[in-house]
Chains A and B, each alone.
Chain A
């Protein structure tokens, strides 16, 4: 998935038009941010169907609440809160057991290794993905923003509306949790040896 940067924001006049009720402006906003929204939801929910449904519902909710949006401010951090709440609510209604689908992740292309390793590589992706869903959603969230979306601390701080120092310590606890979850998986020991 392409690295989405919160810096490439939507022009102010488009945002203002949307607040005023313009449907083409709304289309522009959705199309500019839908990949990022879907990736965030996928990070919370773990499968494509839920990620699609919940992120689309978040757009509907944002559209209904557009009068409360300040067009002078960036769209995504504001929308992120709506999306995040929707995701957390969806997780809760599923009794905190996300249905994790393994076909939504793959390993990044590594030209250095042949096809004989492709099966094993898929397994690594599945392993990490499974471990991510064994940790708290708040921990998973920050790992997804940093590692999958490749956001800088500054960008994460803006998105979550927290100080950069908090980003750092949240990342630390989240990664500690992820390490714990991975070590709990039996497949992890074989992997530890081959990881550089």
Chain B
């Protein structure tokens, strides 16, 4: 347990080298007389030394060469989806209009259009619901971007 209130702020700054020489000397003086801070400082310093021995492995050059191309492809694909979606929406509107004009006859086309429209609406609702869920979990939604 950390008992001394000074450790939370100053202990971290001390370990991370974020203190001026004056501040360091002052905190060291405090530690000399504060067993709690001494104990915590020792424990956190060891933790930091341990964590500091670990590094992330840098992926290969080939990985990075593929990286940008892959981002580019994803952008391209997204554009393609948007275009297709816009086209599909227009076809759906057109087909529905045709459908209402000949609604007295149930034909193969009627069924196909209705199935397509139902699937499309379901997909849209599902996507919107996912977006709303993501937005709710956005910790920065109240922050100006």
Contact = CB atoms under 8 A, between A and B. Distances in A.
B54 A175 contact: no
A107 B51 CA distance: 9
B57 A103 contact: yes
A35 to B, nearest CB: 7
A24 to B, nearest CB: 11
B145 A78 contact: yes
A129 B55 CA distance: 10
A15 interface: no
Interface string A149-179: 0001100000001000100110110011011
Overall SS of chain A's interface: helix
Give the contact-size bracket for chain B. Answer: 35 or more
B18 A153 contact: yes
B140 A85 contact: yes
Contacts of A60: 71, 74-75, 78
Chain A, interface size category, equals 35 or more
A159 B140 CA distance: 13
Interface in B26-83: 43-44, 46-59, 63-64, 67-68, 70-72, 74-75, 78
Contacts of A178: 47, 51
A56 B145 contact: no
B115 interface: no
Contact of B9 (A85, A165, A182): A165
B72 A108 contact: no
B54 A108 contact: yes
A136 interface: no
A124 B50 contact: yes
Contacts of B51: 128, 143, 147, 178
A169 B9 contact: yes
B145 A124 contact: no
4 nearest A-B pairs in the assembled complex, by CB-CB distance: A125-B54, A1-B56, A60-B74, A128-B54
Interface of A: 1-2, 23, 26-27, 30-31, 34-35, 38-39, 42-43, 48, 52, 56-57, 59-60, 63-64, 68, 78, 81, 84-85, 88-89, 92, 103-108, 110, 121, 124-125, 128-129, 143, 146-148, 152-153, 161, 165, 168-169, 171-172, 175-176, 178-179, 182, 191-192, 195-196
25 contacts: A2-B58, A30-B67, A34-B67, A35-B64, A38-B59, A38-B67, A59-B75, A64-B78, A85-B137, A85-B138, A103-B57, A105-B56, A106-B57, A124-B53, A124-B54, A143-B51, A147-B48, A168-B8, A168-B9, A171-B12, A172-B7, A172-B8, A175-B12, A176-B2, A179-B43
